[in-house]
Amino acid sequence: MKRILFVCTGNTCRSPMAEAMFRAKTAGQPFEVRSAGVAAYAGQPASPHAQSVLAERGIAHNHASSQLNEELLAWSDLILTMTGSHKRAILTYFPEAADKVHTLQEFAGIEGIRDIADPFGGALEDYRRCAEEIEESLDRLLERLAEVRFRE
C-alpha cells in the first residue's frame, strides 16, 4: 500500500481537491490518500467552490482540514506539495522528510515545473481551472507511479 499525502497552505482548496480526485482515480488500487496544510486550522471544511468543483466531477468528499505534523509525515510514503514554497517549508521544519517530499508537478515529471495556482478567494471558474491543472498532474502522477512500481 502506497500512502500519499497532498499538501497546500490551508488544506481547504488545492490539497483536498487533489486528495479527492486522486482517490476517485485510484479506487480499488493499493493507495491510501490524505491531505494537510502547512498553515491549516484543523477541522475546517473544504471551501464551497472546491466542494462545487468536486461535485461537478461526481466526487463526494467530506473534508476536514488537517495541520501538517510529524504523525502525518511519518504515515506518508510520498508527500506531494502544490508549490515549491510548500516543499521548502516542509524541508525547513522537517528535514528528515527530504527523501519523500516533492512538488506534485516535479514528481509527475511535468516540464517547466510550476506551482499549482491558489484559487483561494477566487471565483468558481478559478477553482475549475485549478482542478483541471490538478487533474492533468494526477494523470501524469499515475503514469509515473506505474513506472516506479514496474521497476521495483
Count the Cβ atoms, other than its own, within 10 Å of residue 76: 22
Contact 53, 128 (CB under 8 A): yes
Quote the CA–CA distance of 14 and 137 in Å, as a whole number: 12
Contact 46, 127 (CB under 8 A): no
Quote the CA–CA distance of 87 and 141 in Å, as a whole number: 17
Catalytic machinery residues: 8, 14, 118
